[in-house]
Chain A
């Protein structure tokens, strides 16, 4: 189990790093796919099968395709400047370093976090979709509706945004 955890973690972090290191956005997107697959596997190790599936379907399936699609559409190849912006890199390294130090110091003092995982109780092991469903449609029903409206608004927004700003559009904007 631990081994799998480290493998997938490594996968996730390694390709996550590749996302920001690759110069070509296309490669970045593909690396992100693999990173998210590793994340989905981590969800599985946490017994969150539904989330794992959603992660794969929504992110690696839909969202990443969208990314790739847009990258193709806009025909972006390499970043213009070949050189790294050293100021930005320096800033990033500073933040990375500071954040990691803080993370370790916080987690080092977090006693509850030292508990080891024990195997998932058998009776609940395949119940999660049902439980999440029950939760969403009872306690979080209203929130779900609001989310629906949000998605609707987003849809309309996307339509409005991607409309060509032509003759009839200039008046509205």
Chain B
């Protein structure tokens, strides 16, 4: 049992013990989960200092002759950064949850789900092959389902959980096809082996493009890219710490992380790669537009997350671009991952901040019912504003560096550069709108008036994350897992232009929304999210429910009634026809007997003669 396996399994043990043994002892279960997260964090810090992290142990899961699927642990490169994000932010969120969920009835269930998530997410990061990644990929889906549906007695929460699971399943459908295609072509699912095989052999480009596209479908689902983005805003029905951990910092970023893992495949699949770029760019744009008109604080952050994920995906997509025989590969994926890394801190901070605000405002989520919170909630407000600045890309906060890295990559395709810049403007704009409405002005409802600073237990994570949001962009914070030279750095005027765009967004947001009590410029199509939810519902009605209904009718009417019952009816009818001959008339029988004798005689006679 290696350290890595302990990191992997400890949360599972915590989850199981919480679910099965500690259902009635809610407080104990919370401490068990938090403790396991803490231990994992400590062990991880120890682990990432080791020099050799290639093969950290392996467990043979399925073996049939030559066919083997292993649970093998591999940790290198970007994975190191990812595992730190997962365990660190995971631990902080456990800590925050101790306060946030203090009075919840389903505390044991909640922490059990949280631990299950830690287990699954660690598994994704550790995976050394696609099959293992898929296993944990599914498991994060489940833990997300469980946590979104934590307040299962709320209809909206139950629906949102279901929706998240379905949409993710659709993505996983593609992911699995991709894995299978890879397995068919290479006979292996191990990252290292596939890379080796790819380097040494020729493979059908069409098939590779298709398999990369299919694998990307997994990322579309999990990282909520267009057109499967609809579940993420709804997922905000879950407790806020869950939104911070799963639906902002880690799980939704897993799609990006996964793409960096299969970088070597994207490099040789340029068509699929450009699909990835455009999907990312469109997601970034659409989500940012939608974010500008939302009124629910968590929804705004959710769309912001979507938009930032689109950025990352777009960046990774550039890995398939070849310029003068040189692949953009590593620098593109590093740029994407760099943004993932910084984003994890400031977005988790934003969500936890919003959680603190919601907690303080007695579970009020509408920003127009808040206002003036900077007065009573100084620390929270300041951390929130720092995170906003980081997200807007203000120098020298972390977001500035990572956004610049992505834009540097995007220089290679002007259209995407334009979209990216516009999104940067929108980001600054809607975040400013949020801050202005929530923190400044006057309190617009009694819940905002009564708000007061949250307890220390919840402030500690905020403060720690603020440190991360400020410094994550500095070289020292990432140089231990990725070579700083391999992260593209902007040159020339680009950083100044981007900063100008960000400042423009902030200024326009500030002046447009200062002192407003309600949305001054309602744009229905954006507030209604381009009516995509409604369209999807109609599509589902048509393509699934209607077809299913038709299938059921066919099943009941054609197969069951007509064929089966009809067959039975036919037999019955023949039977009753024959029954008519059973008249009970002795003379009739005798007549038939006579005729029978004559026929037999005739037949025998004919046969012999």
Binding site for B on A (CB under 8 A): 85, 88, 91-92, 94-95, 98-99, 102, 105-106, 109
Interface size class of B (residues with CB under 8 A): 10 to 19
Interface-located stretch among B15-23, B225-233, B267-275, B595-603 = B595-603
Hey, what's the 0/1 contact readout for B573-609 against A, CB within 8 Å counting as 1?
Answer: 0000000000000011001001101100110010001
Give, as a whole number of angstroms, the nearest-CB distance from A116 to chain B. Answer: 24
Which residues of the other chain, A, contact B587 by a CB distance below 8 angstroms? 85, 88, 91
Q: Is the Cβ of B591 less than 8 Å from the Cβ of A106?
A: no
Chain B binding surface SS class: helix
Using A99-B597, A109-B609 as known contacts, say yes or no to A91 and B602 having CB atoms under 8 A apart.
Answer: no
Q: Is the Cβ of A91 less than 8 Å from the Cβ of B601?
A: no
Q: Is the Cβ of A102 less than 8 Å from the Cβ of B601?
A: yes
Which residues of the other chain, A, contact B594 by a CB distance below 8 angstroms? 91, 95, 98-99
Which residues of the other chain, B, contact A95 by a CB distance below 8 angstroms? 591, 594-595, 598
Which residues of the other chain, A, contact B602 by a CB distance below 8 angstroms? 102
Closest chain A residue to B600 by CB distance? A102
In this complex, the member of B587, B588, B598, B605 whose beta carbon has the largest number of chain A beta carbons within 10 angstroms is B598
Give, as a whole number of angstroms, the nearest-CB distance from A29 to chain B. Answer: 20
Partner of A98, one of B588, B598, B605: B598
In Å, the complex CA distance between A98 and B602 comes to 10
Closest chain B residue to A90 by CB distance? B591
In Å, the complex CA distance between A98 and B587 comes to 17
In Å, the complex CA distance between A88 and B592 comes to 12
In Å, the complex CA distance between A165 and B259 comes to 96
Which residues of the other chain, B, contact A109 by a CB distance below 8 angstroms? 605, 609
Which residues of the other chain, A, contact B609 by a CB distance below 8 angstroms? 109
Binding site for A on B (CB under 8 A): 587-588, 591, 594-595, 597-598, 601-602, 605, 609
5 examples of A-B residue contacts, CB within 8 angstroms: A92-B591, A94-B591, A102-B601, A106-B605, A109-B609
Which residues of the other chain, B, contact A99 by a CB distance below 8 angstroms? 594, 597-598, 601
Which residues of the other chain, B, contact A98 by a CB distance below 8 angstroms? 594-595, 598
Closest chain B residue to A96 by CB distance? B594
In Å, the complex CA distance between A94 and B595 comes to 9
Which residues of the other chain, B, contact A85 by a CB distance below 8 angstroms? 587
In Å, the complex CA distance between A111 and B295 comes to 113
Q: Which 10 A/B pairs are nearest by Cβ-Cβ distance?
A: A95-B594, A91-B591, A98-B598, A102-B601, A88-B587, A102-B598, A106-B605, A99-B598, A109-B609, A102-B602
Closest chain A residue to B601 by CB distance? A102
In Å, the complex CA distance between A134 and B561 comes to 70
9 additional contacts, CB 8 Å, given A102-B598, A106-B605? A88-B591, A91-B588, A91-B594, A95-B594, A95-B595, A99-B598, A99-B601, A102-B601, A102-B602
Closest chain A residue to B608 by CB distance? A109
Which residues of the other chain, A, contact B597 by a CB distance below 8 angstroms? 99
Closest chain A residue to B598 by CB distance? A98
In Å, the complex CA distance between A92 and B609 comes to 27
In Å, the complex CA distance between A109 and B594 comes to 22
Closest chain B residue to A99 by CB distance? B598
Give, as a whole number of angstroms, the nearest-CB distance from A103 to chain B. Answer: 8
Which residues of the other chain, B, contact A94 by a CB distance below 8 angstroms? 591, 595
Give, as a whole number of angstroms, the nearest-CB distance from B606 to chain A. Answer: 10
In Å, the complex CA distance between A94 and B598 comes to 11
Closest chain A residue to B587 by CB distance? A88
Using A88-B587, A91-B587 as known contacts, say yes or no to A106 and B601 having CB atoms under 8 A apart.
Answer: yes
Closest chain B residue to A98 by CB distance? B598
In Å, the complex CA distance between A88 and B601 comes to 22
Using A98-B598, A99-B597, A99-B598 as known contacts, say yes or no to A105 and B591 having CB atoms under 8 A apart.
Answer: no
Give, as a whole number of angstroms, the nearest-CB distance from B580 to chain A. Answer: 16
